[in-house]
Amino acid sequence: MKITVVGTGYVGLVTGTCFAETGNDVTCVDIDVNKVNKLSNGQITIYEPGLEKLFERNLKEGRLHFTTSLAEGVAHGDVIFLALPTPPGEDGSADLSYILRVADDMGKIITDYKVIIDKSTVPVGTAELVHAAIAKNCSHPFDVVSNPEFLREGVAVDDFMKPDRVVIGTRSERARKVMGDLFAPFVRQGNPILFMDEKSAELTKYAANSFLATKISFMNEIAILCEKLGADVDMVRRGVGSDDRIGKRFLFPGIGYGGSCFPKDVQALVKSSEDADYDFKILNAVMDVNERQKLFLMPKISAWFNNDLKGKHFALWGLAFKPNTDDIREAPALYMIDALVAAGATVSVFDPEASSNVERLIGNKVTYATNQYDCLVNADALIIATEWSVFRTPDFDKIGSTLKNKVIFDGRNLFDVFRMEELGYHYESVGRAATNN
Ligand SMILES: NC(=O)c1ccc[n+]([C@@H]2O[C@H](COP(=O)([O-])OP(=O)(O)OC[C@H]3O[C@@H](n4cnc5c(N)ncnc54)[C@H](O)[C@@H]3O)[C@@H](O)[C@H]2O)c1
Ligand SMILES: O=c1ccn([C@@H]2O[C@H](COP(=O)(O)OP(=O)(O)O[C@H]3O[C@H](CO)[C@@H](O)[C@H](O)[C@H]3O)[C@@H](O)[C@H]2O)c(=O)[nH]1
């Protein structure tokens, strides 16, 4: 099939590459000239495990093209995916201007039947708005379909190739047939393609992300209670997650959820609810808990240093909002850095992939180490913000001999508390007792 993807960021590049990998002829359109030049020249623009190999192969075999020309993209694709940003507007609602501007432009250049697919996360009613924006300038037939994307960064290729489900919102029989054929190769494992109306598909995406964010905030509150009551959140998590009705996943407490999706999508659903004259109480609490959770470690750090962090130096491991990505959007580590610096401390950071993105954003507010142990030199304590695998079984002797003090504050519960006790560390984590050292 001839496919066009408009917007070549995390979702667009994965979508385009994976469709090319399954034999389709794909053109990706992006407004960013620099990005398109790099991609056309074989240089991948994001870190996403497994993507580079597929990208290189499909580029070489001529199934993947990049252009800045929307007209070229529209002429190419029988189906056109919109994988454009929907950032939060000032009032928290999703900003649809990127999507509606492209829809408006597309209306002027469509000359034969097209299926236009919203892959961006968009509020209920957006398919109708996109339809109206195209129809304003276009008398040719077309359908607008909602096809929300559920991939996770870090495992995006796998999630795209083997989705738990594909949600397709359309009431057009013609579009339904096209979409069914397009996604058939991806659901061979027996996972369903769920056809529904456009509005239900749009709401499914927000409901899924908000439910997952709720699970996390709930466990973060349980973790606080564990500390207050002397329970261990790891034990509680296992006990709770063993119930099939609850499930084991997304119950890990930590220093809050971040990323480009949960924070903005929960906020956007709250705003949609308000617009519909409904006070979504649970989600307001989910957001409040997450705000507080991002700085969960700060009172512990302050207390350990007698409430005076002036002149203290910290090593911070992990900048990306989660492991296996270079994405730092809404990364809890950035909030930690702000709080530490505001308290008069200095910070040295290390991340396997995300340091250059952080450097572009905050420059010399922190110093950047090139490996995880150099980061520890002269530091009064180590703070862990992201659970990269490389941090899971570190050389504790080396850590102990490099840090000024054997002190670790762990926002992702990477280490066993008893082991840290034995190793002589002062170790504090989330929802578990501190060591006695
Ligand atoms: N990142 C994720 O894991 C993820 C997963 C599921 C859904 N989503 C949703 O998908 C959408 C895209 O997210 P993303 O993370 O890929 O965003 P992104 O910011 O990484 O990429 C968006 C791309 O669109 C390009 N763009 C902007 N205006 C354009 C225009 N007029 N024409 C062509 N290109 C244009 C930008 O240059 C950028 O490359 C959002 O709605 C997001 O909520 C994201
Ligand atoms: O038990 C958990 C699981 C996750 N997180 C945090 O939650 C955030 C989001 O994690 P994850 O969902 O793995 O990453 P994303 O790539 O943001 O993916 C989410 O957002 C995407 C964009 O909408 C959706 O497509 C995915 O289905 C949805 O999982 C991260 O900060 C994690 O550290 C926790 O704190 N505890």
Share of the chain above pLDDT 90, in %: 98
Which atom of ligand 1 approaches the CA of 261 most closely? 43
The protein residue with its alpha carbon nearest to ligand 2, atom 20, reads 261
Rounding to the nearest 10 degrees, give the CA dihedral for residues 320, 322, 323, 326.
Answer: -40
- Which tokens go with 125? 């009613």
- Side chain identity, residue 205: K
Return the residue matching tokens 């993209």.
73
> Is 261 designated active site?
yes
pLDDT of 234 above 90? yes
Q: What is the pLDDT of residue 189?
A: 72
Q: Which atom, in ligand 1's list, is nearest to the CA of 122?
A: 41
- Ligand lying closest to the C-alpha of residue 148: 1
pLDDT of residue 187: 83
> 158-192: per-residue pLDDT in tens?
999 999 999 999 999 999 999 999 999 888 777 89
Torsion from C-alpha of 226, 227, 231, 234, nearest 10 degrees: 70
Annotated binding-site residues read: 30, 35, 86, 121, 150-153, 205, 250-254, 258, 264, 322, 329
d(CA 261, ligand 1 centre) in Å: 11
Q: pLDDT tens digits, residue range 281-324?
A: 999 999 999 999 999 999 999 999 999 999 999 999 999 999 99
Q: State in Å, rounded, how far the first CA of the chain is from the last one.
A: 63
Confidence band for 253, pLDDT divided at 50, 70 and 90: very high
| pLDDT average, residue stretch 15-26 | 97
Ligand nearest to the CA of 10: 1
Provide residues with CB under 6 Å of ligand 1. 6-12, 29-32, 35, 83-86, 98, 101-102, 120-121, 149, 151, 153, 260-261
pLDDT digits (tens, 9 = 90+) for 188-219: 777 899 999 999 999 999 999 999 999 999 99
Q: What is the pLDDT of residue 190?
A: 77
Tell me if 102 sits within 8 A of 122, measured CB to CB.
no
pLDDT value at residue 191: 87
Which ligand 2 atom lies nearest to the CA of residue 154?
A: 16
Q: Which of 51, 121, 216, 294 to mutate to test the pocket of ligand 2 (most atoms within 8 A of CB)?
A: 216
Tokens 């009431």 found at: 171
User: How close is the Cα of 61 to the center of ligand 2, in Å?
Assistant: 33
Distance from Cα 221 to the centre of ligand 2, integer Å: 18
Report the pLDDT value the prediction gives residue 93, as an integer from 0 to 100.
Answer: 92
Closest-lying ligand 2 atom to the alpha carbon of residue 249: 1
Query: What distance in angstroms lies between residue 209's CA and the mean position of ligand 2's atoms?
Result: 8
- Using an 8 Å Cβ cutoff, are 229 and 49 in contact? no
Complete DSSP assignment for 194-233: EEE-HHHHHHHHHHHHHHHHHHHHHHHHHHHHHHHHT--H
Query: What number of other Cβ atoms are within 10 A of residue 185's Cβ?
Result: 14
Q: pLDDT at position 357, please? A: 97
Mean pLDDT of the chain: 97
pLDDT band at 13 (very low <50, low <70, confident <90, very high): very high
Q: What residues have CB less than 8 Å from 198, skipping those under 6 apart? A: 127, 128, 144, 145, 146, 169, 170, 171
Give the mean pLDDT of 383-412. 97
- DSSP line for 42-76: T---S--TTHHHHHHHHHHTT-EEEES-HHHHHHH
Nearest ligand to residue 213 Cα: 2
Residues of the binding site for substrate: 150-153, 205, 250-254, 258, 322
What whole-number distance in Å separates Cα of residue 48 and Cα of residue 328?
13
**Ligand 2: distance of its center to the CA of 258 in Å?**
7
> CB within 6 Å of ligand 2 — which residues?
121, 149-153, 209, 212, 216, 250-252, 254, 257-259, 261-262, 265, 321-322
Phi, psi of 391 (to 5 degrees): -90, -10
